[in-house]
Structure 1
Amino acid sequence: MIETDRLIFRELDQLDFADLCEILQDDITMIAYEGAFTEEEVQRWLTKQLDNYDRWGFGLWAVINKDSGEFVGQVGLTMQWVEEEEMLEIGYLLKRKFWHQGFATEAALGCKKYAKEMLGAELVTCTIRDTNLASQKVAERIGMTRHKQYVKYYKGMQMPHYLYY
C-alpha cells in the first residue's frame, strides 16, 4: 500500500463506518456534494469502495496518521467518467479537524506516485467542482493544471467541474 512521511494508507472496512460518517455527514465538508449524506448513503459509499478494491485493485483508502493512529480521511484512486471517457482520478476527503495541515497534498502526492509507479498510469487526473477552491489548490500543489471545464450531473443538478492533470 502507500506510506508517506506522516501517513499510512489501508483499505477501508466496515469498522470505518463511524469515521466515514464524520466526513460524509458534515455539511461543510460535503458542500461540493450539495450537503451531508444520510447513513444509507454513507453505507453505499463504503460498499462502492469495497467493490472498487475487487474490481480495480484500488479505491479510496483510509488514511491514518502515523503518530496518533487517528483516521485522517479517505484518499485514493477511482475511475471517473469525464464526459464520455473513463479516467483515473485522485480523490480526497478529510475530516475537517485535519484541514490546512498539508495532509491532503501529502496523501494526493502519494497516490499520484502510486498510480504512476505501481499501476503504470500515464495520466492521473483530479475532477473538482468549480466552487471547490481548496481542492483545486491541492491539485495545483501536486503539479496538476486545469485543462477544461465540463458538467457532471449529481442529485438531479448540473454541476460544473474542472479537469486537472
Structure 2
Amino acid sequence: MKILETPRLILREMTLDDDTDLCKMLQDPEVMYAYAHSFSDEEVRTWLNNQLRRYNEDGFGLWAVVLKETNEMIGQCGLTRQEFFEPVVEVGYLFQKQYWHQGYAIEAAEACKHYAFEQLALNEVWSIIRDTNYASMNVAIRNGMLVRGRKIKHYYGLDMPHYGFSVKREVDL
C-alpha cells in the first residue's frame, strides 16, 4: 500500500516479499555500522515482522522506499515509536550504500516529517542517531531538527551514545 510519494520516490508498506531487498541493507556491514553488526537472516525476518506489526498496531512504521524510475526498493524510511527519556515518534531512515549521498534520505525523511505533522497531527518528531553517524545527523539537520539531548543506548553489549534531534510542528497563530 502506497503511503507517500515524492518527486523521485514512493514510500509504501513493506511486505514479506521485501525480505531480499531488506537483506541488501541489513546484512551489509557498511550500512549497519551504526548498529555495530550486520543482521542474520533471522534478525532480518524479525525486523520485517516488527514493521508489519507496527503497521497494524500504530498505523505506521518503517516503509519501503522505492525508486520511481526503476521500481527498486533502495531503502526504508518512516515513523516508529521509540523511547528517548520519554515516548517519542522517530523519523528513521536506512538506505543501500549505492544510494547514499544522492538526496534520497532527506527527500524521504522530509516527506515522513510532513506526514507526521499533517496526517497524524503530531506536534514533534525525532531522529535518534548514534554519535558517530554524521551522515544521518546531517539528514536530521537538513530536516529542520536540532539536538535536544544525549543518551547512552545499550545494544549488543555495547554502550552507544546517541543524540536526539527533533523538530516541532509550526503552528499558525
For the superposition of Structure 1 and Structure 2, which TM-score range results when normalised by the shorter chain? Answer: over 0.9
Q: Which stretch shows the higher mean deviation, 68-77 or 109-118?
A: 68-77
Using the aligned pairs only, state the percent identity. Answer: 49
Per the normalisation by structure 2, the TM-score is 0.93
Aligned residues: 164
Return the offset for 1:124: 0.3
Q: Is the 8 A contact 1:2 1:110 kept in 2?
A: yes
Residue 141 of structure 2 is matched in structure 1 by: 140
Q: Is the 8 A contact 1:10 1:62 kept in 2?
A: yes
Letter of the structure 2 residue corresponding to residue 9 of structure 1: L
Residue 169 of structure 2 is matched in structure 1 by: none
Select 1:70's aligned residue among 63, 72, 81. 72
Return the offset for 1:125: 0.4
Q: Which runs of 5+ in 2 are unaligned?
A: 167-173
Q: Which runs of 4+ in 1 moved over 3 A?
A: none
Deviation per CA, 1:52-111: give whole Å up to 9, x if none: 00110000000111111111101000001113x110000000011110100000000000
Residue 25 of structure 1 is matched in structure 2 by: 27
Per the normalisation by structure 1, the TM-score is 0.98
What is the distance in 2 between the residues matched to 1:56 and 1:47?
14
Return the offset for 1:138: 0.3
Residue 51 of structure 1 is matched in structure 2 by: 53
What is the distance in 1 between the residues matched to 2:50 and 2:122?
22
Letter of the structure 2 residue corresponding to residue 148 of structure 1: G
Q: Which runs of 5+ in 1 are unaligned?
A: none
What is the distance in 2 between the residues matched to 1:106 and 1:130?
22
Return the offset for 1:35: 1.5
Letter of the structure 2 residue corresponding to residue 119 of structure 1: L
Q: Which stretch shows the higher mean deviation, 117-126 or 67-76?
A: 67-76
Return the offset for 1:15: 0.4
Where 1:15 maps in the other structure, the secondary structure is helix
Letter of the structure 2 residue corresponding to residue 161 of structure 1: H
Q: How does 1:2-151 map to 2 (within 5 A)?
A: 2-83=4-85, 85-151=86-152
- Kindly report the root-mean-square deviation, in angstroms, between the aligned alpha carbons of the 2 structures: 0.6
